[in-house]
Amino acid sequence: MAKFFIDGGARLSGEVNVSGAKNSALPIIAASLLTKKQVVLENIPDVHDVRTMIQLAEYLGARVEFKRNVLRIHTPRLRRVAAPYDIVTRMRASYYMLGTLIARNKKAVVAMPGGCAIGPRPVDLHIRGLAALGTRIEIKDGYIHAHAQSIAGNKIDLQGPKGTSVGATINVMLAACGASGTAVISPAAVEPEVVDVANFLNALGVEISGQGSHEIKVRGCSGLDQGVRYRIIPDRIEAGTFAVAAAITGGDLLLKGAAPEHMTGVIEKLIEIGVRVKLNGRGISVNGHGKKNAVNICVAPYPGFPTDMQAQFMALLATVPGTSTIRESIFENRFMQAIELMRMGADITIEGDTAVIDGVRELSGAQVMASDLRASSALVLAGLAASGTTIVRRVYHLDRGYERFAFKLRRLGARIRRGR
């Protein structure tokens, strides 16, 4: 099993190109199967989750070509309407095919999704939203069976116990593309990736309005029959991860192509910590030299501080003098990196949904094990700042969501290699 070997202490500097957003690319790949014509997608990150979604698209009948971050998808007809367990269980985002198959074929059988082990992520809001469109849903033998005689526009309530859901908002948008009349999704998620999917669907010929607000309207159409060329937005989580890499190593990086308007929650906390952040036409400059301050962070839906960045900030705050706190209000089991950081000398106490972090003068290299995608990146960041050698196991988690992560870090001066 592959590992990363990191010799810490190198101060990162230079420029890094931010890849396309994985969390946009996956649903947009699924949405590309709505049309019978060819779709060309630019800025698609070459990561394992994308490769898995491509495999699923091909299984369902798409003809796909993927070269140099450009993806061509052509699905004149669907050969199957069932997404099998062995593909879906590898990646939770496979469930976006549910909305696509319902819109195009009025029938879908999709295995219950897999993904990172970061706590319960039920699909009840997805089911509720699809049922409101007129879809009959049955969960049987680990599969979601969906069937609709017709799909009708309706008012769709996606309010859950912790707010709305990005995944459910997107899945209902996809299904509503095949509806008669107008579907009104409220409250809708407002994340940039939701807006990106809506903008792609508009380019495809669907009429969607309100994206970026808590009420999205989708006017369905009977059969999409046009192609499109579309460019995916930059990955705000990858950009945030490299921003923390600059901060934790005292480095100086330019994040080329990053979209600062998508990263306000992260940028505000970096500045509060004492990191110098400047915006320019090329991206975001991050300088981690100088004194840093302890801060309190509360994870919140967009535009608040993203749950996908709390693990990376935990690694950073473990090296910042004083006492910091991180409250995780979205996922119940997302402090799994804390135990591994403590193996490196971090002083962290978990109190319910809050991590209390007392900064230490220096982390020490150790053997650590990644539990999920973002925890993996946090351990790599900690290894960059630690004295000695850090070995990060289970880096296949990183391969799911970061494109050529070690390669990009090496170009910035990190002493990191992949081995077994």
**Which sequence positions are flagged as catalytic?**
116
212: its two tokens: 């970026």
Burial 50-75 (b: 16+ CB within 10 A, else e): bebbbbbbebbebebebeebebbbbb
Backbone angles phi, psi at 337, to 5 degrees: -75, -20
> From CA 317, how far away is CA 332, in angstroms rounded?
21
Among residues 118, 123, 114, 95, which one has the least CA distance to residue 26?
A: 95
What one-character-per-residue DSSP string does 158-206 give?
A: --BTTB--HHHHHHHHHHHTT-BSEEEEESPP--HHHHHHHHHHHHHT-
Q: Is 304 exposed, middle or buried (0-12, 13-18, 19+ CB in 10 A)?
A: middle
Cβ atoms of 220 and 208 closer than 8 Å? no
Helix, strand or coil, per DSSP, at residue 183: strand
Tokens 């879908």, residue? 108
Cβ atoms of 208 and 248 closer than 8 Å? no
Tokens 């309190």, residue? 296
Bridge partners for 184 per DSSP: 155, 217
Among residues 230, 387, 244, which one has the least CA distance to residue 308?
A: 244
Helix, strand or coil, per DSSP, at residue 84: coil
Exposure on the CB side of residue 102, measured as CA atoms within 13 A: 35
> From CA 211, how far away is CA 194, in angstroms rounded?
7
Q: Is 76 exposed, middle or buried (0-12, 13-18, 19+ CB in 10 A)?
A: exposed
Percentages of the chain per state (helix, strand, coil), in multiples of 5: 35, 30, 35
Among residues 271, 286, 272, which one has the least CA distance to residue 241?
A: 286
The C-alpha angle 221, 223, 226, rounded to 5 degrees, equals 100
In 177-269, the DSSP E strands lie at: 182-186, 207-209, 216-219, 228-231, 252-256
